[in-house]
Amino acid sequence: MTGTLPTIPLHYTEQGNGSPLVLLHGFPLNNLIWAETVRTLSDHYRVITPDLRGSGSSPFTDRSMYHMETLAEDVLALLDKLGIEKASIMGHSMGGYVTLALWRLAPERFLSMGLVSTHAWADTDEGRKGREALAEKVFMNGSKEAADAMMPKMFAPETPSDESFIESVRAMMVATNPISVVGMLRGMAARPDSSSLLPDITVPVAVLHGDHDALIPFHRAETMAAAMPDAVLFTIEQAEHMPMLEQPQATAAAIRHFLSKALPDTRT
Ligand code: MLT
């Protein structure tokens, strides 16, 4: 399946030289979540962080559904524009769904893959109903509804987290255009199951997951890593759904370690 909308030019940041590393953000966030990872890894990698369609500073399109393939095709168009034939492509949560859609569309563009706080399965019927109910609320009352629904699942009250980044995550969610939030919710609900793809993902894969992720349970990361021929599972300790913010050094160190093994010619 391909997306149903023409591609749009994405806003992105680019820092560093070396093997290209593309980092995709989750829902309903933007590329700022990766700021610390970019700062750390751009010493040896060309790190590119797009804002997906309708997120951050990228344009939105006024359609009711953003298929994961549509979001993936925008990223492919960005790679084309930047003259990048192959890259390491890593996605957080919804960005992981987009990464798997990218693999479906263009596996030849991957040097390696990263699946961060994400999973490969389609929504259950109950999950789809929940997304549609939230889409209706966002449509009526704005993106604050999405923030109110997501934040308690992302940061469990019993796990102490730094208040400043919790506030910054909430601010990113509230700032995301409600039309895009609805489009992404409906696109996620419609995404196909990708678990049958896993045995065919032949490039090296890093699966990174917070040990306290309440939104996507850790066992999903374990099952996913075990199903791929060349995957390594990195447990980010003392982290929930946002390891790049909660444990930025451990997250960047895991990615650096993975890339140095997966792409030995980039070892430093
Ligand atoms: C995300 O963090 O991108 C989303 O929570 C993923 C999802 O809702 O399935």
Least confident piece of the model among 14-28, 54-68, 116-130, 173-187: 54-68
pLDDT at residue number 156: 64
- With 90 as the cut, is the pLDDT of residue 220 above it? yes
pLDDT tens for each residue of 159-189: 656 777 888 999 999 999 999 999 999 999 9
Ligand 1 binding pocket (C-beta < 6 A) is: 26-27, 93-94, 188, 215
Q: What is the pLDDT of residue 2?
A: 56
pLDDT in the model for residue 165: 80
The mean predicted confidence, pLDDT, of the chain is 94
Q: Among 26, 154, 185, which residue's Cα sits nearest to residue 90?
A: 26
pLDDT of residue 161: 65
Choosing from 154, 188, 191 the residue with most ligand 1 atoms within 8 A of its CB, the one to mutate for a pocket test is: 188
Percentage of the chain lying above the pLDDT 90 cut: 87
Which pLDDT band holds residue 135 (cuts at 50, 70, 90)?
Answer: very high
Q: How far apart are alpha carbons 10 and 51 in whole angstroms?
A: 6
Q: How many angstroms does the Cα of residue 91 sit away from the middle of ligand 1? A: 11
Strand 110-116: give its sheet, edge to edge: 12-15, 45-50, 19-24, 87-92, 110-116, 205-210, 231-236
- Please tell me the least confidently modeled range out of 9-18, 112-121, 237-246: 237-246
The pLDDT, as a whole number, for residue 154 is 86
